[in-house]
Amino acid sequence: MKRNVIFLFLIVVLSAAIGYLFGSNFSPKVVANNVAHPSITKLNRLMTYLTQDYVDKINADSLVRVVIEDIVDELDPHSVYIPAVQNESLAESMKGNFEGIGVQFRMIRDTISVSRVLEGGPSERAGLKSGDRILMADQDTLYSKELQNDQIVGRLKGNSSTPVRLTVYRKKQDSIYTFDILRGPVPLPSVSSAYMIDQNTGYIKINRFSQTTYSEFQTSLISLIEQQMNDLILDLRGNPGGYLLPAKQIADDFLEASKPIVIVEGNNGKRERTVSSSQGLFERGRLYVLVDEDSASASEVIAGAVQDNDRGLIMGRRTFGKGLVQQQLPLGQGDQIRLTTARYYTPTGRSIQRPYDSSNRSDYYAEVRQRYQTGEMEDPTKIPVNDSLIFTTPKGRTVYGGGGITPDIYIANEDSPEEAWSRYLISSNLIDLFVFLELDKQYKKYNFDNAPQFFNEELPYPEEFIAAFKVFCKSYSLPIKVTQENQARILNSIKAFIALQRFNENMYIRIINQTDPFILRALEEVTKS
């Protein structure tokens, strides 16, 4: 059971890293080798006995990993051991780019098929397109082989400035092309969308807090201000956190000078209080921050700063509830430990960290999903409140600690369990797969090359897409019933994933937002104000 918990936890960490390196204000510590704790001496002796005297051969690295995992498992839910093999991909995500050719792919039968060409990468510049089949990389044949995903990545990925020649079959032209690609940085934007949602209202979505987040946010914000933006919807839904610094910088842009942003307290009891400067880019316009149960860590810092300073409205559902600060420290041989080194508090002094039992991480993470069972997702009165953790903002609003950020305006999930499941599937990667397969099969029919035209017009061939989707659901045994009520949602999701594959993520989100209940509710509030 313990191993399963660790495995699940590492998956969560690698998908987005809740609170990754949140303690970026803290300097890495150097562990002195000559001052060993007595317990360390015991472990060293044990390993010496096992490697020199034990009757059978042992794998020392494997044993050490087990010990480390068991130790970390006794700590808080956000401290985690990260083996070297998993550290690289996580580091790339938080750096804001990776080195390679810049494509996403699927295996269709025995051939590598490009599902998406990443914007700003070498493949886009070279002219690769979604649907292309990659047959060869240099002299290495890649088709008609049972290649694993990591083997394919190993052939295509590489350091910047290293060349690779791709031989590609393009189905639409029924021709084979050769592309000489120079590998290079591929952007992994953390600001996934920014646009004017109407004449006066801007929209920015941040999916995580990486090294490049603030520069991306600043560029987007300035662009919207230049377009005469008066109101801003900041979308932090599903954002698991990341670096602390860009979260503080973004909050600073919303606050007048000398306003508290966050308080961080280490194990020595010393408190570090961050206050806003006088350089905020958006101190006056109306601000609406969207959050949900998957908004965590740095996302909650921004939401807390906005709410506690009476700067704007927090809209959505109760956030994750993570008020712990991590620092990533090296263990040697590429292994890392992400260790909780401090707690943070919102400007009113509240900790939004949920209670946890160090011996049961699985229950801690399951709590978010249990909110559906308790009825909280439909009824805000079901949100648990600790009377000893009630705080007051400068303008007299009541705010709560001990369990995430409770929004000022609650947006309930009014779907039935069946509808909720259906909605999830409709917005998931299954639709992405359906779209790819359908566009590939009907490549002569579906010519989606004009981005503005595609965005502004209704999705063509709606009946054909719905009929094909029904067949797809049946073939994959998906419990989705196409009804009159959800057909428009399905078509909108299909259109969005076409935009993602053929154009870019910003267009994908713009299309999704057209029917998103959070966005529609936020726009209602904008109109009221």
Q: Domain boundary at 366, 386, 414, which?
A: 414
Question: What CATH number corresponds to the domain at position 311?
Answer: 3.90.226.10
Check pLDDT > 50 for residue 32: no
pLDDT at 418: 65
What average pLDDT does the segment 379-400 reach? 93
Alpha helices in 207-270 (DSSP H): 213-226, 244-254
**Longest distance between any two alpha carbons in the chain, whole Å:** 77
What distance in Å separates the CA atoms of residue 70 and residue 48, rounded to the nearest whole number?
20
431 and 354 inside one domain: no
What is the per-residue pLDDT across 298-356, written as a single tens digit (0 to 9) for each? 999 999 999 999 999 999 999 999 999 999 899 888 889 999 999 999 999 999 999 99
For residue 309, the SS3 value is coil
Question: What CATH number corresponds to the domain at position 183?
Answer: 2.30.42.10
What distance in Å separates the CA atoms of residue 201 and residue 218, rounded to the nearest whole number?
17
User: Taking Cα atoms as reference points, which of 306, 328, 324 lies closest to residue 315?
Assistant: 306
Q: Extract the tokens encoding 496.
A: 């969005």
Looking at the structure of the chain, the number of domains it has is: 3
182 and 285 inside one domain: no
406 and 423 inside one domain: no
Q: Is residue 499 part of a domain?
A: yes
User: Taking Cα atoms as reference points, which of 189, 172, 169, 168 lies closest to residue 180?
Assistant: 168
Q: Is residue 165 part of a domain?
A: yes
pLDDT at 42: 87
- The bridge status of strand 133-137 relative to strand 111-117 is antiparallel
What distance in Å separates the CA atoms of residue 497 and residue 476, rounded to the nearest whole number?
19
160 and 285 inside one domain: no
Q: Is residue 21 part of a domain?
A: no
pLDDT at 63: 87
Tell me which of 7-21, 115-129, 362-376 is least confident: 7-21
237 and 302 inside one domain: yes
What distance in Å separates the CA atoms of residue 11 and residue 4, rounded to the nearest whole number?
11
Q: Domain boundary at 360, 389, 414, which?
A: 414
Amino acid at 205: K
What distance in Å separates the CA atoms of residue 350 and residue 459, rounded to the nearest whole number?
48
CB 297 within 8 A of CB 240: yes
What average pLDDT does the segment 415-434 reach? 77
Percentage of the chain modeled with pLDDT above 70: 92
User: Taking Cα atoms as reference points, which of 420, 417, 429, 419 lies closest to residue 476?
Assistant: 429
Residue appearing with tokens 């998103």: 516
Q: Is residue 460 part of a domain?
A: yes
CA 170, 173, 175, 176 torsion-angle sign:
negative
119 and 148 inside one domain: yes
Amino acid at 245: L
Q: Is residue 72 part of a domain?
A: no
Report the first-to-last Cα separation within the chain, whole angstroms. 52
DSSP code, position 61: H
pLDDT at 64: 86
pLDDT at 11: 31
Q: Extract the tokens encoding 322.
A: 């993570």
pLDDT at 9: 32
Check pLDDT > 80 for residue 5: no
CB 479 within 8 A of CB 193: no
User: Taking Cα atoms as reference points, which of 340, 160, 306 lies closest to residue 233?
Assistant: 306
- H or E stretch at 116: strand 111-117
What distance in Å separates the CA atoms of residue 290 and residue 347, rounded to the nearest whole number?
19
Q: What is the mean pLDDT of the chain?
A: 89
Which string of DSSP letters, residue by residue, matches 453-493? Answer: HHHHSPPS-HHHHHHHHHHHHHHTT------TTTHHHHHHH
pLDDT band at 131 (very low <50, low <70, confident <90, very high): very high
151 and 211 inside one domain: no
pLDDT at 416: 67
Q: Is residue 41 part of a domain?
A: no
227 and 155 inside one domain: no
What average pLDDT does the segment 155-172 reach? 94
Check pLDDT > 90 for residue 3: no
Check pLDDT > 80 for residue 18: no
425 and 502 inside one domain: yes
pLDDT band at 21 (very low <50, low <70, confident <90, very high): very low
407 and 428 inside one domain: no
- H or E stretch at 328: strand 324-332
pLDDT band at 92 (very low <50, low <70, confident <90, very high): confident
- Range of the structural domain that residue 455 is part of: 417-526
234 and 369 inside one domain: yes
pLDDT band at 22 (very low <50, low <70, confident <90, very high): very low
What is the per-residue pLDDT across 349-362, written as a single tens digit (0 to 9) for each? 999 999 999 888 89
What is the per-residue pLDDT across 191-249, written as a single tens digit (0 to 9) for each? 999 999 999 999 999 999 999 999 999 999 999 999 999 999 999 999 999 999 999 99
What distance in Å separates the CA atoms of residue 399 and residue 350, rounded to the nearest whole number?
9
Cβ neighbours of 50 (radius 10 Å): 13
134 and 253 inside one domain: no
Q: Domain boundary at 170, 187, 204, which?
A: 187
HSE of 417, CA atoms in CB hemisphere, 13 A? 7
Q: Is residue 176 part of a domain?
A: yes
Check pLDDT > 70 for residue 411: yes
Q: Is residue 369 part of a domain?
A: yes
pTM over 0.85: yes
